[in-house]
Amino acid sequence: MSESFQFQLKKTDGGARLGEVSMPRGTIRTPAFMPVGTVGTVKAMYLDQVRETGADIILGNTYHLMLRPTAERVARLGGLHELIRWRHPILTDSGGFQVMSLSGLRKLDEKGVTFKSHVDGSTHHMSPERSIEIQGLLGSDIQMQLDECVALPATPKEIERAMELSLRWAERCKVAFGDQPGKAMFGIVQGGDVQELRVRSAQALKQMDLKGYAVGGLAVGEPQDVMLRMLELTLPELPADKPRYLMGVGTPDDILKSVARGIDMFDCVMPTRSGRHGLAFTRRGKVNIRNARHAEDMRPLDDQSTCPASRDYSRAYLHHLVRANEALGGMLLSWHNLAYYQELMQGIRQAIAEGRFADFMAETQENWARGDL
């Protein structure tokens, strides 16, 4: 715990970093995976379970919460932490990305974005200042700047326009956020898949001396090698003593390779969304529990796991629940997947601490490749 927002880089092992973010609401062990709690819930999970899996922080989304139940109502109800009963740190995305991907975007200009709600079709405006205001009303501990993430492929001209707009919006978000010692506002590097634009974006954000830096505009459908290349170009331009957060990433393999290049924080719907669709991530790779081969397999997904969902339920039962589209199927598989992701993060942190991250990465990937027994 710390009265102010502090990041401590504890150890490096090649490009991999072991660190800790300390805030009044708690400490985040990095590299960290942040479960996504879009509309004030990590879908199909009790937050006590999410905590038990090892999560130090969860995500909320400005876009969804401003539409329903609205930021002002959440504030009247005591803020997001109080409402959802999660007393540890919360990071909120700024809404720009969700506007582009979810809503009927009506207008985007210097002022901000105008869009139609995907909930009821009502029209909303969001400026950088309003996004920070909303995140403040929610009580968010780590707030993201409003940015424009262009879908790839896009022309260099289009990527440059969006990147430069995002930089101007970062300045405005920094002013709107002001000085909140126990909280942080992170900038977001844009620049698509264009090296020169990525470098310019990172260098400009570094000049703003922010408390943390996200790498955005990735995990938008580009091949993994393009994503990793952009990290190799971007991360050296960012300050080593501030946390780096790769937005929307990813699979266990994405995470390993991004840690190796210097990322500290991750968020992704992969473990929860895949869990709801019957896909389990395990130490031996992916298991599609819908597959008929599991119909009478009495083994659990992972008898070495401390997670009840992984250890105490047979694949046969999980197969039955998912085939029958029973709610408990998605609940147990979401629980298992989040537990596996946190077990992977713990293994990563331990390996960096002991200076054996490269071996850990190779062993983990070999076990995945060996496949499920």
Ligand X SMILES: Nc1ccc2nc(N)nc(O)c2c1
Residues known to be catalytic: 93, 267
Pairwise CA distance, residues 214 & 194, whole Å: 17
What are phi and psi for residue 178, nearest 5 degrees? Answer: 65, -140
Stretch that binds ligand X, among 27-35, 59-67, 94-102, 331-339 (CB under 6 A): 94-102
Stretch that binds ligand X, among 35-43, 210-218, 317-325, 339-347 (CB under 6 A): 210-218
Element (H, E) at 13: strand 6-13
Pairwise CA distance, residues 294 & 307, whole Å: 20
The verdict on 97 binding ligand X (CB under 6 A) reads: yes
Smaller CB distance to ligand X: residue 139 or 216? 216
What are phi and psi for residue 43, nearest 5 degrees? Answer: -50, 135
Nearest in space to 96 (alpha carbons), one of 79, 113, 84: 113
3-state secondary structure of 102: helix
Smaller CB distance to ligand X: residue 22 or 92? 92
Stretch that binds ligand X, among 54-62, 201-209, 212-220, 354-362 (CB under 6 A): 212-220
Which residue in 35, 139, 192, 217 binds ligand X (CB under 6 A)? 217
**Closest distance between ligand X and the C-beta of residue 146, in Å?**
7
**Closest distance between ligand X and the C-beta of residue 218, in Å?**
6
Which residue in 219, 260, 287, 351 binds ligand X (CB under 6 A)? 219
Q: Total residues at the site for ligand X (CB under 6 A)?
A: 15
**Closest distance between ligand X and the C-beta of residue 238, in Å?**
15
Stretch that binds ligand X, among 13-21, 53-61, 93-101, 304-312 (CB under 6 A): 93-101
3-state secondary structure of 92: strand
Would you state the torsion angle of the CA atoms of residues 47, 73, 104, 127, taken in this order, to the nearest 10 degrees?
A: -110
Residues 134-163 that bind ligand X (CB under 6 A): 144, 147, 149
Stretch that binds ligand X, among 11-19, 56-64, 191-199, 214-222 (CB under 6 A): 214-222
**Closest distance between ligand X and the C-beta of residue 153, in Å?**
15
Tokens of 324: 């029958």
Which residue in 93, 141, 193, 372 binds ligand X (CB under 6 A)? 93
Smaller CB distance to ligand X: residue 44 or 220? 220
Q: What is the DSSP string of 285-350?
A: EEEETTSGGGTT--SBS-TT-S-HHHHSSBHHHHHHHHHTT-HHHHHHHHHHHHHHHHHHHHHHHH
Single-letter code of the amino acid located at 363: E
Tokens of 191: 């620049």
3-state secondary structure of 14: coil
**Closest distance between ligand X and the C-beta of residue 78, in Å?**
26
Which residue in 188, 227, 263, 338 binds ligand X (CB under 6 A)? 188
Contact between residue 69 and residue 30 where contact means Cβ atoms under 8 Å apart: no
**Closest distance between ligand X and the C-beta of residue 272, in Å?**
15
Secondary structure in 3-state letters for 103-127? CEEEEEECCEEEEECCCCCCEEEEC
**Closest distance between ligand X and the C-beta of residue 373, in Å?**
34
Smaller CB distance to ligand X: residue 91 or 289? 91
Smaller CB distance to ligand X: residue 150 or 307? 150
Cβ burial, residue 196 (10 Å; 0-12/13-18/19+):
exposed
Other beta carbons within 10 angstroms of residue 187's beta carbon come to 30
Cβ burial, residue 75 (10 Å; 0-12/13-18/19+):
middle
Residues 231-260 that bind ligand X (CB under 6 A): 247-248
Which residue in 83, 184, 194, 220 binds ligand X (CB under 6 A)? 220
**Closest distance between ligand X and the C-beta of residue 293, in Å?**
33
Stretch that binds ligand X, among 89-97, 117-125, 195-203, 293-301 (CB under 6 A): 89-97
> Applying CB under 6 A, which residues contact ligand X?
93-94, 96-97, 144, 147, 149, 188, 216-220, 247-248
